[in-house]
Structure 1
Amino acid sequence: MFRSRLLGTALMLALASTANATSFVVTTDTVVRGLGASTDATSDVTSSFRDDKIVRAARDDAASFVASQGAIRGVKLESALAHIRQQSPALQASDAQLAQAILAI
């Protein structure tokens, strides 16, 4: 009797740890995919606009935007975002991703 309870408890613990591990893997995969998409958008913008004067002039405004989590939107940053979107209409990146890309240049 004691042995069957011990075996049952061990089985339940094994199943519980598997469920936790699975949810951890799913969460980790989701975070990594999101980071990958952000990195791809950042590298596309960085390589395309490295020598662009409008984008390079927006660096300080981009730093303020990122540091304030989007609360501070400078004129040069707005101009650079519009310029980037006009030059690359297929680019699907948020303002925050583009501001980070400008800082990476």
Structure 2
Amino acid sequence: SQLRRDGVDPAAIRLSLLAHHYRADWEWTDGVLADAVERLARWRAAVSRPDGPPAEALVEEIREALANDLDAPAALAAVDRWAASQALSGGTDEGAPGVVSRAVDALLGVAL
């Protein structure tokens, strides 16, 4: 695609698509992509830290959102909340960033 030729990270393209429920009408805009690029940067920064807030509830929330008619926007919002918590106060769970990274890859197809 032209986006790939332009050097856009495939993970950002995927996040752009996942940000909208598959039953909803929407149009691609540069703003949608810009939001996804920013989201991806926040998530990658959050999982790059050595520890973080517990991740088990987040993984369950992602699974529940996807089980609810593939509500990908709700799944993304859950990861957004975890990343915001990580940015604000961090956490002490040394395994959490890795758990989140693997869950986002496995459940959403987004490599962090």
> Shared fold by TM > 0.5?
no
- Structure (1 or 2) with the greater helix fraction: 1
TM-score of the superposed pair, with normalisation by structure 2: 0.33
Larger Rg over CA atoms: 1
TM-score of the superposed pair, with normalisation by structure 1: 0.34
